[in-house]
Structure formats: structure tokens, C-alpha cells
Amino acid sequence: MQFQPGRLDGRRGRGPPQARQRRIARVTGAGAEGIGAARVLSILRWMTWGVLPGGNSMAVQIPSMDEQVAREHAAYTQVERHVLETDVLPHVNKAVIEEHRERPIGKHSDELERVLIYLRKHHLEIPGKYILVCTMPFREWRLATLSGVPGTPPELLDDTFSDRDEAEHALFLKRLTDAGLMPE
């Protein structure tokens, strides 16, 4: 069977065997040209199972689940801190707050949209997150906080609003204040 570009060749993967070997070589870091399938499999086996070429095995210590979660959380926190410093803090100013007051629902400028996306994220901390609750349809809105416990209703705060836009803006200001982003 002759290989035709863009078609499956009947074996696993796409393309001729050499193309598959080049893709595997990119993953393994081995040279792309002239690498045999047996050598590639040997390298892959060594990388994944700790078996050295020649059949000798080496001890591979896999981090515990707690260590993996701690690493993921540290990486997530580092990325969030970078996003805050580069994409959010430079855009929080009185003009952005005024824009939100004028139109809290709908299309926003890029600066305000970046701030809103950051504030709406849960940051792995659902307990204490502010939400908006409509207590009387189309007539009354209240701010509330989530408990973080499934099945537990949100705790309503004293703030009551007769206009949804005012409630949305109050929620925005509360989130800005709690995040320490309120400009002086």
C-alpha cells in the first residue's frame, strides 16, 4: 500500500513510518533522522518505566498525590499572581470604575473586561465569594456570600437594591475592595 498525503496509512497514526518516528523523536529528544523503531521504543520505555537500554531497571520515585497537588497549586498561584500584576493592576483606575458604574451589564472596554474576568474567577476559594441574589423578581436584589458547603444556601448581606445595575456595581466594588484592588 503506497502512502498518500492526507490519508490514513492503515497502521496506527498518520503518515509513513518515518513521519511517526520523527514525531516520537521530537517527544523523546532523540535525533530525528536515522533512528530505528527499536531504539525509539527503548528510549520511550526508559523515559516512562525507568528501564534503561539493555534491560537494567532503575528506581523511579513518583511524587505523592499531595506533592503533585501542592506543585499544581504553586504553579496556579504563580500564574495568577503574574496575571494580576500584568493584566489587572495596570487597568484598575477610577475611569474603569466609572465605566462599570455607567454600564455594569453589557459590552465593556478591554480594560474593564480583564478586571471583571479576574474578579469573577473563584481562585480556588469558593467560601466567602460574593454573589448577587434576586429576592423579589425584577424588584429587589441583595448581595450574599457563598458558604462553600454544597446544599447550604448563601448568606444574605444587609445590602438591598431596587435596581439591578446598582446591585451589580455594588458587587463589583465589594470584590475590588476584598481583592485589595480599590484605587486610592
pTM over 0.75: no
Query: Contact 128/146 with Cβ under 8 angstroms?
Result: yes
C-alpha cell at 90: 495596570
Distance of CA 126 to the CA centre of its chain: 15
CB within 8 A of 140, min separation 6: which ones? 134, 160, 161, 162
Nine cell digits for residue 140 = 429587589
- Can you give the length of the chain in residues? 184
Residue-wise pLDDT tens digits, 48-106:
445 555 666 555 677 888 999 999 999 988 998 999 999 899 999 999 999 999 999 99
CA-nearest of 128, 132, 126, 119 to 159 is 132
pLDDT in tens, 19-31: 555 555 555 555 5
